């Protein structure tokens, strides 16, 4: 963490001294890097961002910006938000309704001479494609335009660190994709170290260079998106990113026997859970060599079909499995099919 633009070291926070919402949490963000803090609602991720911004007093741990300590829980020292020189973007955008777009963006530049403030505001608005709206008022803008203005306001002081808390959650799905794509390009061009809080796994995988996954105030796993998705460290991590199929079994001699065949489980013994995503299953014509099942449902989800299949294990246990199919058409409801599992895409955890 020594070379990080933002470093949180073993920070902790509780409200009213009783409810611990963040516990022994560490994170680092390098210059020009986008790190997504991901987790379900109430896991403590927004509290982490507020601590980094100086909006909450740090109770335990250290916070460093470019190697300089700005908050120390042991001594109670905490630099105020305005002295941390970070850019902040929140879910509600918090634009001043009585100020024009240009004045909103220039609001945090009070230490600069007026001509420079105006130039800096124009520059920031141009960065986000809103230069033509400098004289408009927030009420005349769409949600996506307001988000761009909020981003421009945060970028105008040229901060080396950007903190964004669920900035796209108030936008409709189609607009959200466009705005986050634009925001990603703007943040990368700015070179700022960025910490983005989100509860949306798809958003985190699209935006992040690295993901830090939280549950109940603690770090569960961190790494590049592809690594966190493909090699989850826990059942929680596996289940958070997508629909999941779950089987139970017992590990013997390094593998667990399942109705879909053996799955390697090195280093484990005893009862285990086998988790695998719908894309790890393949539907095939009945062949007698693989588990057979009956198609009960097929739903088109835009780029693929999600097919549900009812099957029965050898010991008489009913199985309800999901298969993700890309391309072509799904089998008809009621059709009997064989199911083949790719064991390299299955995750085994001790029960």
pLDDT in tens, 110-139: 888 999 999 999 999 999 999 999 999 999
Cβ atoms of 162 and 192 closer than 8 Å: yes
How far lies 345's CA from each of 98, 236, 281, 329, 337, in Å?
Answer: 55, 16, 9, 23, 21
pLDDT band at 3 (very low <50, low <70, confident <90, very high): confident
Q: What is the pLDDT of residue 138?
A: 95
For 94-107, what is each residue's pLDDT tens digit?
Answer: 899 999 999 999 99
pTM of the model: 0.91
CA distance 104 to 152: 9
DSSP state of 331: P
For 182-211, what is each residue's pLDDT tens digit?
Answer: 999 999 999 999 999 999 999 999 999 999
Smallest CA-to-CA distance from 130 within 146, 118, 117 is with 146
Q: What is the pLDDT of residue 2?
A: 54
Domain residue ranges of the chain, discontinuous segments joined by +: 6-232, 242-350
Least confident range from 85-89, 173-177, 250-254: namely 173-177
Q: What is the pLDDT of residue 172?
A: 85
- pLDDT at residue 320 tops 90: yes
Strand partners, 308: 297, 322
CATH topology for the 6-232 domain:
Rossmann fold (3.40.50)
Class of CATH domain 242-350:
mainly beta
CA distance 228 to 241: 9
Q: What is the pLDDT of residue 32?
A: 95
């Amino acid at each position: 963490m020594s070379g990080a633009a933002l470093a949180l070291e073993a920070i902790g926070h509780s409200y009213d001294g009783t409810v611990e919402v963040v516990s022994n949490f560490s994170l680092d963000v390098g210059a020009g890097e986008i790190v997504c803090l991901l987790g379900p609602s109430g896991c403590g991720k927004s509290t982490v961002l507020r601590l980094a911004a100086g909006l909450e007093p740090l109770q335990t741990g250290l916070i460093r910006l470019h190697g300089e300590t700005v908050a120390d829980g042991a001594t109670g020292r905490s630099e105020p938000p305005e002295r941390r020189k970070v850019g902040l973007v929140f879910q509600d955008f918090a634009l001043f309704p009585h100020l024009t777009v240009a004045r909103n963006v220039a609001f945090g530049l009070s230490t600069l001479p007026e001509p420079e403030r105006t130039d800096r505001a124009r520059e920031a608005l141009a960065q986000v494609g809103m230069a033509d709206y400098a004289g408009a008022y927030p009420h005349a803008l769409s949600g996506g335009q307001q988000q761009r203005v909020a981003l421009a306001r945060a970028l105008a002081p040229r901060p080396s660190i950007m903190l964004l808390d669920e900035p796209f959650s108030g936008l409709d799905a189609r607009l959200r994709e466009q705005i986050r794509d634009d925001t990603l390009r703007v943040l990368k061009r700015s070179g700022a170290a960025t910490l983005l809080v989100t509860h949306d796994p798809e958003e985190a995988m699209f935006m992040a260079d690295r993901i830090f996954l939280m549950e109940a105030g603690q770090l569960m796993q961190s790494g590049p998106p592809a690594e966190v998705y493909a090699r989850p460290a826990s059942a929680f991590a596996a289940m958070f990113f997508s629909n999941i199929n779950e089987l139970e079994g017992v590990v013997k001699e390094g593998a667990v026997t399942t109705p879909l065949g053996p799955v390697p489980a090195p280093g484990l013994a005893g009862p285990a859970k086998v988790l695998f995503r719908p894309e790890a299953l393949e539907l095939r014509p009945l062949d007698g060599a693989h588990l057979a099942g009956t198609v009960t449902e097929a739903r088109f989800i835009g780029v693929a079909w999600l097919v549900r299949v009812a099957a029965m294990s050898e010991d008489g246990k009913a199985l309800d499995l999901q298969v993700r199919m890309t391309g072509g058409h799904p089998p008809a409801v009621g059709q009997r099919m064989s199911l083949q599992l790719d064991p390299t895409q299955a995750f085994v955890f001790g029960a």
